């Protein structure tokens, strides 16, 4: 009987990006199970009900899953931060990689924060769980390289021999 070594939760609301990341994960971690969530609430539900070994988290997420008759609630530019804060409050410790397609974010007051500043703030606020903050760009492979090395450092992948 084959046992599953790792459960990865991928929280991403955009289907093309989710499929691209899932494809890479299946190549890097073929024995892992990849669960997916598409909103803040579905991510929180999965984290509270499943034994997750790694969280891959988008930063900009809707509040609820988008359905045929649902809009998904208010889009949240910092929905990923909300997930991380809930994890801290609920004492859920899970290695986390934030992967976002945006290079900058607008705060509620109208000020902006670039990806480097966001990375520093997240690492400062969530040092126990945050492993990396990556910029996703489907035309470049840098995010793949950084994600692969982050997975290896976290013990999620092993060097094949």
CATH of region 7-153: 3.40.50.2300
User: What pLDDT is recorded for position 28?
Assistant: 93
pTM of the model: 0.87
User: What pLDDT is recorded for position 160?
Assistant: 38
Q: Which residues of the chain have pLDDT under 70?
A: 1-4, 66-77, 158-161
User: What pLDDT is recorded for position 128?
Assistant: 94
Give pLDDT tens digits for 60-87.
898 877 665 555 555 566 889 999 999 9
User: What pLDDT is recorded for position 126?
Assistant: 96
User: What pLDDT is recorded for position 74?
Assistant: 56
- Three-state secondary structure call for residue 151: helix
User: What pLDDT is recorded for position 1?
Assistant: 40
Q: What are the structural domain ranges in the chain?
A: 7-153
User: What pLDDT is recorded for position 145?
Assistant: 93
Beta pairing partners, 106: 112
Q: How far apart are CA 123 and CA 117, in angstroms?
A: 10
Give per-residue burial for 131-159: e unless 16+ CB within 10 Å, then b. Answer: bbbbbbeeeeeebbebbbebbeebebbee
Burial of 86 (0-12, 13-18, 19+ CB in 10 A): middle
User: What pLDDT is recorded for position 159?
Assistant: 46
């Amino acid at each position: 009987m084959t046992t599953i070594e790792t459960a990865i939760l991928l929280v991403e609301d955009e289907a093309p990006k989710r499929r691209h990341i899932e494809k890479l994960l299946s190549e890097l971690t073929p024995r892992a199970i990849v669960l997916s969530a598409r909103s803040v609430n579905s991510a929180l539900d999965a984290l509270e009900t499943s034994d997750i070994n790694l969280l891959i988290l988008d930063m900009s997420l809707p509040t609820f899953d988008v359905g045929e008759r649902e809009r998904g609630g208010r889009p949240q530019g910092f929905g990923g931060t909300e997930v991380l804060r809930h994890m801290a409050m609920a004492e859920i410790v899970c290695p986390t990689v934030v992967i976002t397609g945006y290079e900058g974010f607008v705060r509620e007051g109208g000020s902006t924060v670039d990806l480097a500043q966001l990375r520093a703030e997240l690492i400062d606020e969530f040092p126990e769980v945050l492993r990396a903050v990556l910029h996703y760009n489907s035309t470049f492979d840098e995010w793949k390289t950084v994600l692969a090395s982050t997975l290896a450092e976290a013990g999620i992948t092993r060097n094949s021999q």
